[in-house]
Amino acid sequence: MSPQTLTITIDPDAADAPFEQVRTQIAEGARGGGLPVGFKLPTVRGLAEELGLAANTVAKAYRALEADGVIETRGRHGSFIAAAGEAADKEVAAAAETYARRAKRLGLDHDAALAAVEDALRATYGTDG
């Protein structure tokens, strides 16, 4: 993705569903700066036509991006890249706090709770760091 340009490629042979490919590529573009805050996304129908997907597939991706705070929809004005970093940071901090409190209630000590998080991160990200 070059600055100010949305380029999405759908791989029909990929393990991820097309809506997830759309979601991931837009989220990565927003995080990486290729899609700056305020960048206007194509309409759901427009992007669906461009990619050869059903409108519901793109709408599902947009809804997930909105739920994650990556985009914001402004009614008839369209969907735009949001200031996602701050929203994501707040959500992750809240999730971490919830986890820490729950782990303590379950009787895990600090090292056991941290080890569980590290295992989950390795399983999700597929790396050791």
Sorted by sequence, the CB contacts under 8 Å of residue 128 that are 6+ apart come out as 122
Helix, strand, or coil here: 80?
strand
pLDDT at 31: 83
pLDDT at 53: 97
Average pLDDT, the chain: 89
* Residue, of 41 and 37, whose pLDDT is higher: 41
pLDDT at 3: 45
Q: pTM value?
A: 0.67
Q: Is the pLDDT of residue 79 over 50?
A: yes
Confidence of residue 2 (pLDDT cuts 50, 70, 90): very low
Q: Is the pLDDT of residue 91 over 80?
A: no
Q: How many other C-beta atoms can be found within 10 angstroms of the C-beta atom of residue 86?
A: 10
Cα dihedral: 25, 27, 33, 37 (round 10): 130
Looking at mean pLDDT, say which of 48-57, 67-76, 95-104, 116-125 comes out highest.
48-57
Burial tier of 94 (Cβ tally within 10 Å: 0-12, 13-18, 19+): exposed
